[in-house]
Amino acid sequence: MKGKARCPHCKESVIVEVPDGATGEQIVTCPNCGMKFRVDVNEKYSWEEEAPIIHPAMHIKPKSTKPVIAGILLIIIFISGIAMSGVLLLSFDNLNKVSIPSEFKGKVVDESGKALEGIQIEVAGHPELNTTTDEKGYFIIKNITSGKQELHLTGEGYKSLNAEIFVLPWNITIYSEKFVMKEGNGEIEQKSLIIKLFEFGPLLSSIIIVLSVGALIGGILAITRKYFVIAMTGAVIGIIAGFFTLIGIVLGLAALILLLISKDEFESKPKEVKY
């Protein structure tokens, strides 16, 4: 005969079976988790001769791959963040020693953000390396040696700009540097973003590591479909960490959307199955 009981292991209400005519305590097997537990047939259970067995799996909604994909995206953010952190931790002097031909891209604007055409750019100490900005203010210097360099920017009606830059090897361009020209006479100075990053490298590296670990935790919870709020927090942290990587922001937003539309697949605690 069969009857309903609550499994002490998985906390589910399940239907179990004992021999016909059995009395007292009996050992039964949970059809949900497979664990054995005791039931007292003499207590007020709904024991019936032909009670239908409905397996708990029939009450579980089919799971999609969305949380898993979101988790993988967050783990990619973690990996890219750790990689970026490692780059920042590398010695500036060591990177400066990697002297190979590369290229540098940038854009020149005025104080209002308007693109400036015809601005002359020259690499300090290498007058043969020079160019001018196009109609959109962009320029590119080829065959420039990687490492720390200085650019001289001049234009009629504007102050001369001495810009300290860092040229990445192998024609790598993470960020197209923007140079701001000011009207008037004299000289002004500017440091490129990468130079500033190197100056604050250790601090930024620590911040990126912390944010990346947060994205990793969110990714693991997303894959295991546990603790939705924490997984969502990890996705938000992943978006923030993405500001320090190339594709992290897009990946973080995609992970956030996937988590939102698969919220019902997450469980923070076992739910009782109702028959």
Q: Select the highest-mean-pLDDT range: 15-24, 30-39, 184-193.
A: 184-193
pLDDT at 58 over 70: no
Mean pLDDT of 79-95: 75
Mean pLDDT of 33-42: 76
Q: Select the highest-mean-pLDDT range: 87-91, 124-128, 193-197.
A: 124-128
Q: Per residue in 173-208, pLDDT tens? A: 767 788 999 999 999 988 888 787 777 777 888 888
SS3 for 139? strand
Q: At what angle do helices 228-242 and 201-224 cross, to 10 degrees?
A: 150
Q: What does the pLDDT read at residue 267?
A: 65
What share of the chain in percent tops pLDDT 90? 22
Mean pLDDT of 72-82: 90
Fold (topology level) of 106-199: Immunoglobulin-like (2.60.40)
Q: Which amino acid is at 237?
A: I
Q: Closest Cα to residue 88, out of 171, 181, 212, 186?
A: 212
pLDDT band at 274 (very low <50, low <70, confident <90, very high): very low
Question: Six-digit token pair at 27?
Answer: 């050992």
* Strand 138-145 to 101-109 pairing: antiparallel
Q: Closest Cα to residue 7, out of 27, 25, 30?
A: 30
Mean pLDDT of 30-44: 75
Burial call 149-188: b when 16+ CB within 10 Å, e when fewer: bebbbebeebbbbebbbbbbeeeeeeeebebbbeeeeeee
Of 48-52, 60-64, 108-112, 117-121, the one with minimum mean pLDDT is: 48-52
What share of the chain in percent tops pLDDT 70? 84
The DSSP secondary structure of 150-213, one letter per residue, reads EEEEE-TTB-EEEEEEEEPSTT--SS-EEEE--BSSSEEEEE-HHHHHHHTHHHHHHHHHHHHH
Phi-psi category of residue 157: left, alpha or beta, with phi > 0 → left and psi -120 to 50 → alpha:
left
More confident residue, 127 or 4: 127
Q: What does the pLDDT read at residue 44?
A: 55
Q: What is the number of alpha carbons within 13 Å of residue 167 lying toward its C-beta? A: 26
Q: What does the pLDDT read at residue 68?
A: 92
Q: How far apart are the first and last CA of the chain?
A: 18
Residue showing tokens 């190197």:
198
Cβ-contact 134, 141 below 8 angstroms = no
**All structural domains of the chain with their residue ranges:** 2-59, 66-86+201-265, 106-199
Of 15-19, 24-28, 238-242, 267-271, the one with minimum mean pLDDT is: 267-271
Average of per-residue pLDDT values in the chain: 81
Q: Select the highest-mean-pLDDT range: 23-27, 95-99, 149-153.
A: 149-153
Q: Which amino acid is at 205?
A: S
More confident residue, 189 or 90: 189
